Structure 1
């Protein structure tokens, strides 16, 4: 069976770390899997709850759900009925909620497998999304473990949404859905003659939904239904549906019901006999496309082939980089789950169980795209192109936008546009692909410019948003969206933005020099000096840096503030940016250790706000200790790891990392409540009655950053244009570690020997048998494997 890693009373990781096995459906909160192929996506919880969408979970929802993570009772289900006894149950725990003889959920990379055993019938349901096609497969294996023949009927059930979500006016939306039974595909189709998108005359809600949804089966159904009232019955429920009292479904379709998808299939099994049945659910481009997809995948062999392709697809993303350290939690998360979370949920699906989104955030997906760099840098490059196209000629950008309607919100915040040069720099350090800087991208309001020019416009826009004191203005907010009241009159300042800009300019100067842009080089140098002087003059508060000043000049994050007297970001970015000298860098991080680094990671601020303050923003409207208001906001907590490592404080860096590494929360799982295999958006702070509770899992930008700080700042291996820097900052107890990664088509197999048991310091590096004179290895560019031996001391 293999070793069970990080086992708790609800589940464990398999020995290879690629599956999380849930042994009870009654986890503290829904523990889900977000599965996507980059276009079509589904999410499923350990009870069978969940929903599906194509391209956008808000503009193009396929199946219906409403957020209720307490009941977790919206899903896509298979009922099983024994025809001799009329007893029935479901292949997933919901909706019937029968106490099974055996129940197990395996969330894997690109799939989930739910096993149960009831009434001497064992079922294994595997759910996955087909690569490169807009459909999901439910592959059900059903086995008769009884000593007698069993006659069973299977009933699928879910509600169609078809378009905008949430469809809060269900009584209106249901009037436009048309369902049919399609003999050729052994299943149902569903179309909708109304969508909120604009038609050719600019009218919203006066155009057809342009897809065809379908639900089909490898077996010929004996009956079907598309009306919720027929299936559930008036005043009944999914737990006890009317359909289970009738021998067959009604075979009604059309436009006059409340649209569902339900197929009924008969299965007869001899003692010991097994049978596989495939159900598909998809969203096709046309009726012909639906026929093709349904008929192609209504086949056991084709389903198994598709699942093999899922594994191959994910191997491509997971296997180009591998760490092996004494910390199993770090290994599992870095090698597998953080990559999967960032790609499948954040970049492709853009929706989680606790936050349904579907759009693109300018800063959000740019940061997430860093996860591609070790496995497919073209993915980062594509995101840079897409986001550059959301920039106007004045350097402003779209804060967020919808992928189908293209509607979005113009950004008034002070950091969005700066992430374009920031992520471009990271891409160049990884690839050394300076030709990309000449690629032309169209501006949102017309004309085009090179990527270099797009980055310059972002930086110049920031230059134009300075206060008279030479500090960047806050605007609507900075990275911390909750600081929404500080700078709405365009007078409040953000010291964090100043640090962030300084960080970007420190690297962008060399790029401008490469482009021989001498005037801009000098301008960037002048601004760097201005920022260093002014942030240290006006932003230093004695033992730490201020977060901001309000429009009226009041300080935020100052020692005299009764609430919120220290913020995390300006301290850690003073170190990350290099704007603080050694003395101040140490002092501000000592303050982080004293006030902010708690049991479950670094708090975003301290002490929390207890009453709303509109001059600060909506951050003060959260309950004390909740999310940004004195909680651990995981995204920023990852940056704290880097800051400690940059100061050479391995103990604190590892402590700050270990406390936010999800498997480590397995020891207090009823306190944590969240899935221990993905990062949460936040954990409750000390003043919350639920101190340590993880919340808003899956859909958080912290996944990519937790991966990045583990590899680049604890293991200390990071690319720098045409070289690889090796500078570990590890617990001195470690004997060493190994790290293998692809870089510019070379493979580097790095073995770090820490027999000296130091936390920092490289004594010797030998590359392919040849000693090098520094801790920087020049890249070979020969597409070969290279053995790197590192001795710490």
Structure 2
């Protein structure tokens, strides 16, 4: 690191050798681009998205990254060598570098990347030339903006140029068929727009008669500059040079770009803009990349509207306002800065921008919605925009068949997906409905009519009812729900394939749903079904405790041959996390068994970096259990910390009356707390990972599959609902903190049913649980459920613990 870098480096929260959080937690600042894995930002407006790493790698897409990619990226988290690059060049010396560290990887005097909410800023200084590249997506248009400000900090005038470069990859993203797909692309330089436009005469869908590969990509992609380029190129061969590389392309040797375009090359986009600067002077140029739907949008108009310096500044302010509406409605202040940062900012942003909207990150590209996945994720909207959760619920209801089963996942463009044989997918609709109704009391949603996939339609209430009734048909002779192809744990893919194996976890999950949905049925006058659910609940609880209790903990399952899974009798995989937690969460376990099950979690599963999904890991392949046993031992579901499930341990410990364990389970999976070992953890410390390696792995504690994981929403919900203890109930907002004893106070502001509640919790008594008094607007209330005002006003809530 150079002297200039050391002189200008700031300090912040959770600092390590690669970066830190700013004091307000809204930016993560990376000061060394050589991070152990790509530390990225996933930026989306719900339609158009891109990802960008700290080195400048990444790609763009619209709708989803599998069916409608715009720019090319070959998945490689080690090299991170693909992106949308801007080269800077001194035209007199011939020296060139890139505005992000990649691809040139030049020696720099200063380098910093600020990943923020809806934007990233790359600041670099090389040979006295400072560049500041700000990248973001317009909130209301299918395009991204690259705003480049160049400042001459040297003592002499400089003649420079800025050259963009990326590869097009319109439509499906089949990188192995590049040589085929490139011959259907046609690029054209439009001088009056300072832009390259691209069309593709192939989209890998059949036409209306089922003829394969017989439709055009229905978009016009574009790349434009805010001022007249000195030259352009739209062909990879002439830009990179035969046997050249992006780090030293032919284009940076040649005085000007080759000017190739048309149908007979390998479609790329490159614009070169001259920048002449006196000493101390600055100049800003704006580039845009986008894709306009030909029948609905005008590519030329989008270019003209957004590709100016003034438009870029205005749009960036719109980005800030756009994201503020989604994340600033709810805010906490506790003695735990990691919890504050993640709960207030990053978990909401990760859940929305990546998980729900972008649906893609460096470790996984997705072309669709998971039935249960994005239903769970949509809970992130409850405190800010519950109407968006409502929209998600209606979308998922329409992915059901008349029998009550659903698609396991489906493509977001043109639909279609596998009809699930999974035992829990269909049940997430009534489960999530409970959270939505408790938050909003919007019972009208139950009367909304949505279609079935195989014809006909039904109300949302009927969709929920069908899901439950379908599950009633999938019980073993012992009264335990059947596993099917798998339950929540996809890796248990061979346990119950023949519909004989049982899932005790599904039984617990169903038990909770029945208890929540029976009052909904009764409220609608469907008393027969309500009574049926109560009856099944009773027999289910008895069966789960009779056949599922293994002496110190609950079994996960039995397989098709009746063998126990998750039992002390097993050589490997003796105890699974989910059935212990959900026995408590659901109420299946009584106090004694619930305590014993969670004590077993504490003894066997709660480790340095969170609760393991199972223990001990499988070291031998078990064809009668599934592909979970084929993972390397300690990796992902096979004895690692699967973060999604590990969040639920917080919930269970709280319910069992162990606030200190709940906070421990939370803290171990809260990402900033891993900042002290970035080279061991390797993942970004500002978003949740899908998993961390378990103790049997040689990389114990290593994080993986960051960003695109369902754990982010749940971790946010664990902090607010269960540690801070403020959660929606039908009667109103319940307050029941479960906090570390040494917390003297915390505050929590959140919207609820049209009103805003400002809570100040005083814990001068130094207790972990218990409320002595609650005052609302200065008046003492009975109990711990706040009044349901619905008046559009702010209300002050003073809670005294004791």
* TM-score, length-scaled by structure 1: 0.99
Distance 1:444 1:430 in 2: 29
| Cross-structure match for 1:764 | 773
For residue 285 of structure 1, the aligned residue among 284, 289, 293 is 293
For residue 140 of structure 2, the aligned residue among 132, 141, 146 is 132
Distance 1:236 1:658 in 2: 48
Q: Secondary structure at the match of 1:409?
A: coil
Q: Secondary structure at the match of 1:678?
A: coil
| Cross-structure match for 1:377 | 386
Distance 2:579 2:330 in 1: 32
Distance 1:719 1:265 in 2: 55
| Cross-structure match for 1:87 | 95
Q: Which residues in structure 2 correspond to 1:62-461 (within 5 Å)?
A: 62-286=70-294, 289-461=298-470
Give 1:358 deviation, angstroms.
2.5
Distance 1:649 1:166 in 2: 50
| Cross-structure match for 2:5 | none
Q: Secondary structure at the match of 2:360?
A: coil
Q: Secondary structure at the match of 2:298?
A: helix
For residue 637 of structure 2, the aligned residue among 628, 635, 649 is 628
Distance 2:761 2:657 in 1: 17
Give 1:199 deviation, angstroms.
1.1
| Cross-structure match for 1:659 | 668
| Cross-structure match for 2:36 | 28
Q: Give the unaligned 5+ runs of structure 2.
A: 1-8
**Alpha-carbon contact 2:43-2:50 (below 8 Å) kept:** yes
CA RMSD of aligned residues (A): 0.9
Does residue 1:501 correspond to 2:510, yes or no? Answer: yes
Give 1:298 deviation, angstroms.
1.4
Give 1:34 deviation, angstroms.
0.1
| Cross-structure match for 2:678 | 669
Q: Which residues in structure 2 correspond to 1:534-613 (within 5 Å)?
A: 534-613=543-622
Distance 2:772 2:402 in 1: 50
Give 1:184 deviation, angstroms.
2.4
Aligned length: 793
Deviations 1:445-481 (A, max 9, x none): 1111111111000111111111111100000100000
Give 1:405 deviation, angstroms.
2.5
Deviations 1:30-66 (A, max 9, x none): 0000000000000000000000000010000000111
**Alpha-carbon contact 2:11-2:20 (below 8 Å) kept:** no
Deviations 1:4-29 (A, max 9, x none): 10111100000010000000000011
* TM-score, length-scaled by structure 2: 0.98
| Cross-structure match for 2:625 | 616
For residue 469 of structure 1, the aligned residue among 473, 478, 481 is 478
For residue 487 of structure 1, the aligned residue among 492, 496, 519 is 496
Deviations 1:515-540 (A, max 9, x none): 11110011001110011000000000
Does residue 1:4 correspond to 2:12, yes or no? Answer: yes
Give 1:434 deviation, angstroms.
1.0
Structure 1 window deviating more from structure 2 (432-441 vs 605-614): it is: 432-441
Distance 1:510 1:204 in 2: 50
**Alpha-carbon contact 1:184-1:291 (below 8 Å) kept:** no
Distance 1:548 1:501 in 2: 15
Q: Secondary structure at the match of 1:6?
A: coil
Give 1:166 deviation, angstroms.
3.0
Distance 2:85 2:490 in 1: 38
Q: Secondary structure at the match of 2:676?
A: helix
Distance 2:596 2:72 in 1: 52
Deviations 1:261-289 (A, max 9, x none): 11111111111110010000000112971
**Alpha-carbon contact 2:227-2:285 (below 8 Å) kept:** yes
| Cross-structure match for 2:655 | 646
**Alpha-carbon contact 1:540-1:546 (below 8 Å) kept:** yes
| Cross-structure match for 1:520 | 529
Distance 1:708 1:128 in 2: 28
**Alpha-carbon contact 2:731-2:785 (below 8 Å) kept:** no
For residue 695 of structure 1, the aligned residue among 681, 701, 704 is 704
Distance 1:645 1:257 in 2: 62
**Alpha-carbon contact 1:197-1:405 (below 8 Å) kept:** no
Give 1:105 deviation, angstroms.
0.3
For residue 799 of structure 2, the aligned residue among 783, 790, 793 is 790
Distance 1:2 1:27 in 2: 18
Q: Secondary structure at the match of 1:168?
A: helix
Give 1:3 deviation, angstroms.
5.9
Give 1:428 deviation, angstroms.
0.1
Deviations 1:325-364 (A, max 9, x none): 0000000000000000000000000011111113110000
| Cross-structure match for 1:729 | 738
Deviations 1:499-554 (A, max 9, x none): 00001111111101111111001100111001100000000000000000000000
Distance 2:36 2:174 in 1: 25
**Alpha-carbon contact 1:2-1:14 (below 8 Å) kept:** no
Distance 1:317 1:524 in 2: 37
Q: Secondary structure at the match of 1:398?
A: coil
Structure 1 window deviating more from structure 2 (331-340 vs 263-272): it is: 263-272
Distance 1:80 1:166 in 2: 31
Deviations 1:217-275 (A, max 9, x none): 00101111111110111111111111111111111101111111111111111111100
Runs of 4+ in 1 over 6 A off after TM superposition: none
Deviations 1:369-417 (A, max 9, x none): 0000010000110000000000111101011111112121111100000
